[in-house]
Structure 1
Amino acid sequence: MVKHTGRRQRLLAAVVAFIVSAVATVLAGTATPASPSVRATAKPAPDAAASAPPSQAGDPGKPLRIGISYGDTLTWKDDPGLATGLGDAVDTGAKWVRVDLSWDDIQPDSSKTYEWQRFDRVLSAAKARGLEVLPTIGYTPKWARKAGCTDDNSCPPANPAVFAAFATAAAKRYAPQGIHTWEVWNEPNIPFWAPAPDPAAYTQLLADTSKALRAADPKAYILLGGLAAVSTGQDTGYVSQGDFLTAVCKLGANKLVDAISYHPYTYPYLPSAKTSFGTAMEDISSTPGNLVAILTTYGTPNMPIWITETGAATNGPGTVTDGTNITPQTTHVTEQYQAAIASDTIRAAAANPHVAAVFWFSDQDTGQASDKQHRSEFYGLRRYDGSPKPALGALKDAIGAYEKGSSQGG
């Protein structure tokens, strides 16, 4: 059973918006204007100094962390499905798995009861396989949602302190079991923060939550919620990764975390591709207004960047076989080209000294080829029926080549 499939549908919408904007930029030679309202409501977040991480020195000398991002699927799989999903991480050579620690799953009914058993099961299975777990804390149960935004678990909590209390309970439960890396929310710069992104509100939640996590887990390593690679647009309600990062950095959010998360879905281009407008991967450190430049402006030049999602959707409308003949209708790639993207993802991430981690999304398709309602559910290394796509082997080979080169100092 798959839960929260609406998340991937909105992600595909974000990707399509990015591609359309990029193509328009190439044709017209103009950049998408940033929303003038993004930073207008920003107010200083309280207790920033109290929540500050102990160091902003980056991750010099550490090998690239490589993982698979599963969203909220593993928690709902049966035992064979869970074994296959985590087995793919082991078989490819990935050492990390990113899994939603959904507040909506754990406390669906009230603040007084907890349903930890599904996440416990995933953690136990991951530990048995020697895998590190990165939980993404987010998704508000109905009873805790902000007034006027109650029909979507992407609605923010009415009271950030209540969310922070949930984070405290999670850290107290799972830090003794070896979890110390925490990602706070998912893609707050698109309507995964419903109904629209709010840098000031997100920074307030981050301030409360980072303070709570560090109090419960002195070893906590905290990631800013993964930023979607999109263009700012009033029609879409998106705030670009650069505009959003600038807004929250002005409020001190970068001083509350140890690293930022980013979701550079570069397809239908290879992650290493050089284009006239720059791919999402290049926005890390190469294009004007890149993420590293913003972090440098606000005092954290060495802050690591974790790519906690990236991937490519296969076999849908507008499928392309390579990075040419791209149009605004291009939304999917062939399975063979997905494999090339998977290989290039590891190489491109390893080549960028600012990137500390990269996670492929996802392990298995959650839509069938005949299902027109779920074209956004085709990011998997496996098809819906469990059969492997070429990308599964390509990712394994790429990770193996990286590990070999790393061990040889290359």
Structure 2
Amino acid sequence: MREQTDRRKRILIAVVGFVVSAIATVVAFEPAPAPPAAAAKSGPAGSDDAEPAVGKSRELRFGLSYADTLTWMSDGELNASLDDARKLGAQWIRVDLAWNNIEPDIPGRYEWHRFDRVADAARARGLEVLATVAYTPAWARVEGCVKGLRCAPADPAAFADFTRRATERYAPKGVHTWQIWNEPNIPFWSPKPDPAAYTKLLKSSSRAIKSVDPGATVLMGGLASVSSDDLHIAHSEFLRAVAKLGALDAVDAISYHPYTYPHLASARTKYGSAFEDISASENNLASILELYGKPKMPIWLTETGAPTSGPGNVSDGTRIPANTTHVTEEFQARIAEDLVTTTGANPRVAVLFWFADQDSARVKDNRSKSRYFGLRRFDGSAKPSFKALQKAIAAYKKSRPDAAG
């Protein structure tokens, strides 16, 4: 009997040992739990930490570019024009904060009220403001320059002081995004484009802005899509030149103006496309950013569109006559729709601005095509492009549940 009892004990001990051994084996080979996901990095808009990797999906946002028109409108006109941005589904407006308007005659005498109304009206509608700081008053211009407000500042420190004061005034009003100059690669920077002089201005202005508002977003002046000649520097060539001088360390994004009319943005021509130069052509802007250590820096399209009248011939999209300078209203509508779909498919583009809201009566030359880029005519009636752009933006947002309203 005792032998049977001892035998049972031995069997029980063996079974318990086997079970313990099996459990230990399972535990030993169980995969370790995955480490917790790294916390999302944060940083200013345009910083590498804040941006998705190239090729990943990016939420495209939309804006309406007004140049220097809102400042001079009546209250009723201003309200109606900004209401258009909301009706279109835009989240942004781009407007000139022109140095020559605010400090026109005497250093230190400011006319801030001219821009106050714009900032306040935009904030009341929940619109983000991209303020383009540019254009030199007569007292601050390079000596001998005859191009008026487009003349480069004689002293970058004076321009930087203005940007600092503007930031102090408008950051509390919700303005945190700044573009330094407009199209510095063409004679908007006069007497002729100068990458070194522009880079100096850009660096000093960026430091001034961020000394007041460290979280501000600073954009490089919108590059005009041009070829190089005596008075113009091609957009890619200019970007490469300022990048070599360290300009990319002073900005959170670059901006670009790819006008493609009388072609669609999606069209491919034997001469290439301004839109291909964003990220698809041999010497595209995105590749230059990557070459100079900014592979995730976003590209903002702060102007693009098409005029519906001008001094030359008109294209309806089916044929392009010689000396074509503008398009029909119907083709402008197609261009607007195509811009949204083409840009929405490019993950390098962060924001798309249409230029402009309404045909401009402020342009002196009645023959100039620059008067006719509006979604509305001079009398305020809507062109077909207004509804086309509105529908295209709505369709994009519907296709992207994460898109901002």
Counting only pairs closer than 5 Å after superposition, residues 4-403 of structure 1 correspond to structure 2 as 55-57=47-49, 59-60=51-52, 63-234=59-230, 237-316=231-310, 317-322=312-317, 324-367=318-361, 372-403=366-397
Question: 1:250 and 1:88 mapped to 2: Cα distance?
Answer: 40
Say if 1:188 and 1:301 are closer, same or farther in 2 by CA, change over 3 A: same
Question: What code does the residue aligned with 1:395 have?
Answer: L
Question: 2:275 and 2:67 mapped to 1: Cα distance?
Answer: 21
RMSD (CA atoms)? 1.9
After TM superposition, give the deviation of residue 325 of structure 1 in Å: 2.8
Question: What code does the residue aligned with 2:267 have?
Answer: A
State the TM-score, normalized to the length of structure 2: 0.84
**Per the alignment, in what secondary structure is the counterpart of residue 398 of structure 1?**
helix
Which structure has the larger Rg over C-alpha atoms?
Answer: 2
Question: 1:277 and 1:257 mapped to 2: Cα distance?
Answer: 31
After TM superposition, give the deviation of residue 113 of structure 1 in Å: 1.0
**Per the alignment, in what secondary structure is the counterpart of residue 270 of structure 1?**
coil
After TM superposition, give the deviation of residue 315 of structure 1 in Å: 2.7
State the TM-score, normalized to the length of structure 1: 0.83
Question: 1:273 and 1:208 mapped to 2: Cα distance?
Answer: 39
Please, which moves more after superposition, 300-309 or 311-320?
311-320
Report if the CA contact (8 A) 2:46-2:296 is conserved: no
| Structure 2 unaligned spans of 5+ | 1-43
**Per the alignment, in what secondary structure is the counterpart of residue 380 of structure 1?**
coil
After TM superposition, give the deviation of residue 285 of structure 1 in Å: 0.4
Identity of aligned residues (%): 54
Deviation by residue 1:296-328 (Cα, 9 ceiling, x = unmatched):
111111110000000001133210001x43355
- Count, aligned residues: 354
After TM superposition, give the deviation of residue 173 of structure 1 in Å: 0.8
Give the match for residue 32 of structure 2.
none
Deviation by residue 1:238-296 (Cα, 9 ceiling, x = unmatched):
11101101110111111211100000001111111122222111110011100011111
Report if the CA contact (8 A) 1:104-1:139 is conserved: yes
Question: What code does the residue aligned with 1:396 have?
Answer: Q
**Per the alignment, in what secondary structure is the counterpart of residue 400 of structure 2?**
helix
**Per the alignment, in what secondary structure is the counterpart of residue 407 of structure 1?**
coil
Question: 2:396 and 2:147 mapped to 1: Cα distance?
Answer: 44
Report if the CA contact (8 A) 1:53-1:255 is conserved: no
Deviation by residue 1:190-236 (Cα, 9 ceiling, x = unmatched):
000011100000000001111111101111111000000011112xx
Report if the CA contact (8 A) 2:298-2:349 is conserved: yes
**Per the alignment, in what secondary structure is the counterpart of residue 99 of structure 1?**
strand
Say if 1:76 and 1:103 are closer, same or farther in 2 by CA, change over 3 A: same
Report if the CA contact (8 A) 2:119-2:175 is conserved: no
Deviation by residue 1:17-46 (Cα, 9 ceiling, x = unmatched):
xxxxxxxxxxxxxxxxxxxxxxxxxxxxxx
**Per the alignment, in what secondary structure is the counterpart of residue 137 of structure 1?**
strand
| Structure 1 unaligned spans of 5+ | 1-51
Say if 1:286 and 1:209 are closer, same or farther in 2 by CA, change over 3 A: same
The ranges of structure 1 where at least 4 consecutive aligned residues each deviate by more than 4 angstroms after the TM superposition are none
**Per the alignment, in what secondary structure is the counterpart of residue 153 of structure 1?**
helix
**Per the alignment, in what secondary structure is the counterpart of residue 256 of structure 2?**
strand
